[in-house]
């Protein structure tokens, strides 16, 4: 859960910001520059003013050690100025969207939302949640801004073509990594055939139940049955529970981890059954993952302690009343 | 043939000649340890994206340039040196630009001089940043001169700023050049009347204030982007302080010291034509223009400055001759022009021939230095010995056969081996050695640390191989005979010094042929 706000002491590196959002921020910057409205200044002083401004901005960005903050802040200021002072009515909605988008790139450089993550990735959630929205807002605003900035269709299309070409690296990199041999829309095709059968059985169970399966690290196979079937897990991904619920949940998580270890190392069927009843566990899955991680005698103890409700190959769903 | 066609043909021939001299067998000579460091840093930049400014290895521009070439053409000994070779060829563009104020003929002669100059050619085929500095600083100074004298457009001042930034992003000699420029301007003012020149300078600065500000603006933008690697390392914005502090310390401690006359010997030996012709132009003219006086004073100030500076290394000679080149070119243009005397042409022709001979010898015939060679070029100073290449080939052959690791390399041989063996599986440490690699290279003093692991193993052949060799002529006076003999035959009057490394090669494997003669 949210644990308050913190000041950012280490921001986004500028090349990283350009890599992620340069395709949007550069055209927006071009638009903002074009709106500075310096036409009344003679050519030579105007060029000098712009050059001096750019040099000074770069110097401040470097010397501050926070170039992403300084440059996004400068862009934000320019957009706000344009929005408030110069924008005709029909462009103002797009300008507001663009300003909000740039704001969402700017604000994670100043504050972040505290959560359970450590010092190395302290801004992770703030950044990716903020940046995703910023991308959407800027993408919506850019067509209108480009139309005003580049009334010449050829120039505008050239800029758009460059933006598309630059952006294509992201989807192209994904496509290159596709496993076309296993292409399809079945999101559970990766599952072991026995696990798949267990999931299909559990998926049509019309009852409130808690399922216990092997414990493991996040982003791995642990929690697979609960995720695929919809039956709540006794214990899923521990770190995610900590992030979502906060540090106060840690004692309960530690307790449940110990219970899972105890269940999968039990040799007394009566003790195992008592443990399930005390913890409110209705179903235990013994599948390929459990057979790989836990000793066979413990798994046999669980089978003797309960009743086999479903089997597929060597996999079992053991029910406890 | 029309005059314009003759001029075009002359320049095309010169360009072809320059390209040939700069690119022919560019990768033949063994890599100096400095070259290996620069090549490897640029390789890491190109492949891993890792580069951060360190004043020890000078400015970032060389690494950007070389990494870009690797990215386009792949990494090899040839492409590593290609960027600098192109700078050497690019000096012809500088020569072309001095048509105004020196005239077309002098410009062509300047192009020829910079092409055949032994120092310029050698260091155009050497992966150091001195020729890159010469190119960028020349472009900046020429641009500044042109902008003040006859061209005041925004684009001209922009390029003054950009070239100036590239010069400062190349090597710290740019600070010395800037200082010498100020000193020269003051000396020129004194020569032609200080008060009037001072007032003229103030008027010019006032009139060109927009241009100067444009140049400064572009300079700031370019140096900041280069030194911070496009703001990846914003802390490096204070590169000036770090650079000056680092090199002031090197000067004070005389890390590589020498006597004040250190540079005079190679300059007189190799660049007698440029220095002699420049002196002839300056001292035989009744009246010199301010730009000519300025170039001469700048050149003399450079000689004094580099004689004073504590760091004495051979490549600094490049920074001392460049101001004399336009003056020498002007003299040669006159000598070989309609008003040249026969004796002057004979003398200049002999000088050109001797310079070309010296340049070809130093770059192609005696391009390496080794205790096993009886002739040596003083220009080469310190160089990796060519005997090391045979070891590199052996290790690569072992790597191709699947040996893992193909070698262990520790001690002084690390550079240039890190560059040569960048694609081969090599261990760079002796600790925890459990294998018997085909080749082990280490300092002779480290042999004892191998005992119990390899040295008592009769399966290894042992050889001392020259790693680095040097010839420092200033260490002993040769006498007239020794000096003359050296100038004619290149036979040194003192021995070539060398640092050897111990090379252990595993007993013959029937699959490969060793080049150190261990296989029958």
Strands laid side by side in the A283-286 sheet: A211-212, A283-286, A315-319, A307-312
Contact criterion met (CB < 8 Å) for A47 and B232: no
Rounded mean pLDDT of A215-235? 91
The pLDDT tens digits for B254-270 are 777 788 888 998 999 99
A49 Cβ under 8 Å from any chain B Cβ = no
Within 13 Å of residue A68, how many CA atoms lie on the same side as its CB?
27
Contact criterion met (CB < 8 Å) for A54 and B154: no
Rounded mean pLDDT of B66-73? 97
Helix (H) / strand (E) element for B470: namely strand B460-470
pLDDT in the model for residue A227: 92
Of A47, A54, A62, which has the smallest distance from its Cβ to B228's Cβ?
Answer: A62
Residue B161 pLDDT > 70: yes
pLDDT in the model for residue B285: 86
* B121-130, B213-222, B429-438: least confidently modelled range: B429-438
pLDDT in the model for residue A30: 92
The pLDDT tens digits for B38-48 are 999 999 999 99
Cα→Cα distances B332→A12, B88, B326, B328, Å: 59, 21, 10, 6
DSSP state of B76: S
Of A48, A54, A64, which has the smallest distance from its Cβ to B210's Cβ?
Answer: A48
Record the tokens describing residue B280, joined without a space. Answer: 């002839």
CA distance B221 to chain A (A): 5
DSSP state of B428: -
Q: How far apart are CA B139 and CA B137, in angstroms?
A: 5
Nearest to A310 by CA among A272, A288, A283, A276: A283
Of A44, A58, A67, which has the smallest distance from its Cβ to B210's Cβ?
Answer: A44
Confidence band of B510 (pLDDT split at 50, 70, 90): very low
A284 forms bridges with which residues in the sheet?
Answer: A212, A318
Q: How far apart are CA B237 and CA B220, in angstroms?
A: 10
Residue B512 pLDDT > 80: no
DSSP assignment of B344-405: HHHHHHHHHHHHHHHHHIIIIIS----TT-S---GGG-EEE-TTHHHHHHHHHHHHHTT-SS
ipTM computed for the complex: 0.83
pLDDT in the model for residue B403: 87
pLDDT in the model for residue B460: 81
DSSP state of A112: E
pLDDT in the model for residue A281: 95
pLDDT in the model for residue B516: 39
What's the distance, CA B297 to chain centroid? Answer: 23
Residue partners of A68: CB distance under 8 A and separation at least 6: A11, A12, A13, A14, A17, A105, A109
Q: How far apart are CA B336 and CA B338, in angstroms?
A: 7
* A50-59, A111-120, A124-133: least confidently modelled range: A111-120
Angle, nearest 10°, between helix axes B342-360 and B324-335? Answer: 130
Contact criterion met (CB < 8 Å) for A14 and B217: no
Q: How far apart are CA B27 and CA B126, in angstroms?
A: 10
CA angle centred on B371, ends B365 and B373, rounded to 5°: 30
* Residue to substitute from B155, B162, B220, interface A, most A β-carbons within 10 A: B220
A111 Cβ under 8 Å from any chain B Cβ = no
Nearest to A148 by CA among A209, A79, A94, A77: A94
The pLDDT tens digits for A97-117 are 999 999 999 999 999 998 777
Nearest to B125 by CA among B34, B54, B243, B21: B21
DSSP state of A233: B
CA distance A54 to chain B (A): 7
Contact criterion met (CB < 8 Å) for A65 and B234: yes
Rounded mean pLDDT of A181-200? 89
pLDDT in the model for residue A31: 92
Confidence band of B433 (pLDDT split at 50, 70, 90): low
Collect all residues of chain A within an 8 Å Cβ-Cβ radius of residue B231: 13-15, 58, 61-62, 67
Cβ pair B318, B122 in contact under 8 A: no
Strands laid side by side in the B426-427 sheet: B382-384, B460-470, B497-506, B439-442, B407-409, B426-427
The pLDDT tens digits for B209-242 are 999 999 999 999 999 999 999 999 999 999 999 9
Count residue pairs from A and B with Cβ separation < 8 A.
Answer: 61
Nearest to B88 by CA among B15, B163, B159, B175: B15
Cβ pair A225, A202 in contact under 8 A: yes
pLDDT in the model for residue B432: 64
pLDDT in the model for residue A41: 76
Contact criterion met (CB < 8 Å) for A66 and B235: no
Residue B416 pLDDT > 60: yes
B210 Cβ under 8 Å from any chain A Cβ = yes
Q: How far apart are CA B296 and CA B274, in angstroms?
A: 12
Record the tokens describing residue A122, joined without a space. Answer: 């302290």
* Nearest residue of A to residue B214, measured between CA atoms: A48
Nearest to A228 by CA among A186, A289, A291: A186
Collect all residues of chain B within an 8 Å Cβ-Cβ radius of residue A65: 234-235
Contact criterion met (CB < 8 Å) for B221 and A58: yes
CA distance A73 to chain B (A): 16
57-96 of A, contacting B, C-beta below 8 A: 58-59, 61-67
B504 forms bridges with which residues in the sheet?
Answer: B440, B462
Helix (H) / strand (E) element for B500: namely strand B497-506
Confidence band of B452 (pLDDT split at 50, 70, 90): low
Cα→Cα distances B297→B180, B181, B191, B201, Å: 9, 10, 10, 18
Collect all residues of chain B within an 8 Å Cβ-Cβ radius of residue A60: none
CA distance A26 to chain B (A): 15
Q: How far apart are CA A319 and CA A316, in angstroms?
A: 10
pLDDT in the model for residue B518: 38
CA distance A67 to chain B (A): 7
Cβ pair A321, A309 in contact under 8 A: no
* Nearest residue of B to residue A54, measured between CA atoms: B221
A13 Cβ under 8 Å from any chain B Cβ = yes
* A270-279, B139-148, B326-335, B426-435: least confidently modelled range: B426-435
Collect all residues of chain B within an 8 Å Cβ-Cβ radius of residue A61: 231, 234
Residue A175 pLDDT > 90: no
pLDDT in the model for residue B220: 97
Contact criterion met (CB < 8 Å) for B234 and A61: yes
Q: How far apart are CA B351 and CA B274, in angstroms?
A: 9
The pLDDT tens digits for A227-259 are 999 999 999 998 888 878 888 899 999 999 999
The pLDDT tens digits for B352-380 are 999 999 999 999 999 999 999 999 999 98
């Amino acid at each position: 859960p949210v644990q308050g706000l913190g000041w950012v002491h280490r921001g986004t590196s500028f090349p990283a910001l350009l890599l992620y959002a340069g395709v949007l921020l550069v055209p927006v910057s071009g638009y903002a520059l074009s709106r500075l409205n310096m036409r009344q200044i003679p050519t030579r002083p105007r060029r000098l003013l712009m050059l001096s401004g750019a040099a000074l901005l770069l110097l401040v960005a470097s010397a501050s050690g926070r170039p992403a903050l300084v440059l996004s802040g400068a862009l934000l200021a320019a957009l706000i100025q344009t929005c408030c002072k110069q924008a005709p009515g029909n462009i103002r909605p797009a300008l507001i969207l663009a300003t909000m988008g740039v704001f969402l790139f700017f604000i994670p450089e100043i504050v972040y939302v505290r959560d359970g993550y450590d010092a190395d990735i302290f801004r992770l959630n703030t950044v990716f949640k903020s940046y995703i929205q910023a991308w959407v807002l800027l993408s919506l605003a850019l067509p209108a801004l480009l139309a005003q900035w580049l009334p010449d269709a050829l120039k505008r299309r050239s800029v758009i073509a460059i933006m598309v070409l630059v952006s294509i690296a992201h989807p192209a990199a994904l496509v290159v990594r596709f496993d076309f041999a296993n292409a399809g829309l079945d999101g559970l095709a990766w599952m072991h055939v026995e696990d798949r059968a267990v999931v299909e059985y559990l998926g049509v169970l019309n009852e409130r139940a808690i399922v216990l399966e092997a414990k493991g690290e996040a982003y791995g196979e642990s929690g697979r049955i609960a995720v695929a079937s919809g039956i709540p897990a006794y214990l899923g991904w521990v770190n995610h529970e900590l992030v979502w619920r906060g540090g106060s949940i840690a004692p309960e998580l530690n307790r449940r981890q110990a219970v899972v270890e105890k269940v999968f190392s039990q040799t007394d069927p009566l003790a195992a059954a008592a443990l399930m009843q005390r913890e409110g566990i209705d179903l235990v899955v013994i599948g390929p993952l459990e057979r790989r991680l836990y000793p066979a005698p413990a798994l046999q103890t669980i089978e003797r302690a309960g009743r086999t409700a479903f089997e597929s190959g060597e996999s079992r769903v053991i029910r406890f009343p | 043939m029309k005059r314009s066609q003759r001029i075009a043909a002359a320049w095309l021939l010169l360009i072809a000649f320059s390209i040939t001299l700069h690119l022919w067998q560019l990768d033949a000579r063994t890599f100096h340890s400095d070259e290996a460091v620069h090549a490897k840093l640029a390789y890491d930049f190109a492949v891993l994206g890792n580069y951060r400014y360190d004043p020890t290895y000078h400015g970032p521009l060389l690494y950007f340039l070389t990494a870009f070439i690797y990215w386009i053409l792949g990494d090899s000994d040839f492409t590593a040196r290609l960027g600098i070779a192109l700078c050497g060829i690019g000096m012809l563009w500088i020569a072309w630009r001095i048509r105004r104020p020196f005239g077309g003929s002098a410009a062509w002669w300047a192009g020829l001089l910079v092409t055949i100059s032994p120092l310029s050619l050698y260091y155009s085929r050497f992966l150091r940043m001195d020729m890159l500095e010469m190119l960028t600083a020349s472009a900046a100074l020429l641009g500044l001169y042109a902008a003040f004298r006859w061209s005041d457009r925004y684009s001209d001042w922009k390029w003054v700023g950009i070239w100036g930034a590239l010069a400062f992003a190349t090597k710290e000699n740019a600070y010395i050049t800037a200082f010498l420029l100020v000193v020269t301007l003051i000396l020129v003012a004194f020569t032609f009347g200080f008060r009037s020149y001072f007032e003229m300078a103030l008027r010019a600065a006032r009139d060109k204030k927009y241009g100067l500000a444009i140049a400064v603006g572009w300079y700031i933008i370019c140096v900041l982007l280069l030194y911070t690697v496009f703001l990846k390392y914003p802390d490096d914005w204070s590169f000036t302080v770090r650079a000056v502090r680092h090199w002031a310390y090197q000067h004070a401690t005389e890390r590589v010291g020498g006597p004040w006359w250190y540079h005079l010997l190679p300059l007189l030996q190799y660049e007698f034509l440029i220095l002699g012709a420049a002196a002839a132009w300056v001292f035989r003219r009744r009246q010199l223009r301010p730009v000519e006086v300025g170039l001469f004073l700048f050149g003399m100030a450079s000689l004094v400055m580099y004689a004073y500076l504590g760091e004495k290394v051979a490549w600094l000679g490049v920074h001392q001759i460049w101001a004399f080149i336009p003056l020498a070119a002007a003299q040669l243009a006159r000598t070989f022009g309609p008003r040249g005397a026969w004796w002057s042409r004979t003398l200049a022709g002999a000088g050109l021939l001797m310079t070309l001979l010296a340049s070809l010898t130093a770059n192609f015939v005696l391009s390496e230095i080794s205790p096993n060679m009886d002739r040596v070029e003083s220009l080469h100073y310190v160089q990796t010995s060519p005997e090391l290449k045979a070891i590199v080939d052996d290790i690569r052959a072992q790597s191709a056969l699947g040996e893992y690791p193909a070698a262990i390399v520790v001690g002084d041989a690390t550079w240039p081996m890190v560059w040569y063996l960048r694609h081969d599986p090599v261990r760079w440490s002796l600790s925890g050695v459990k294998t018997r690699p085909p080749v082990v290279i280490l300092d002779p003093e480290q042999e004892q640390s191998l005992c119990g692991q390899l040295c008592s193993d009769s399966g290894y052949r042992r050889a001392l191989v020259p790693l680095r060799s040097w010839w420092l002529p200033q260490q002993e006076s040769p006498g007239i005979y020794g000096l003359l003999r050296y100038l004619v035959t290149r036979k040194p009057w003192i021995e070539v010094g060398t640092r050897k490394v111990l090379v252990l090669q595993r007993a013959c494997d029937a699959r490969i042929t060793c080049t150190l003669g261990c296989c029958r």
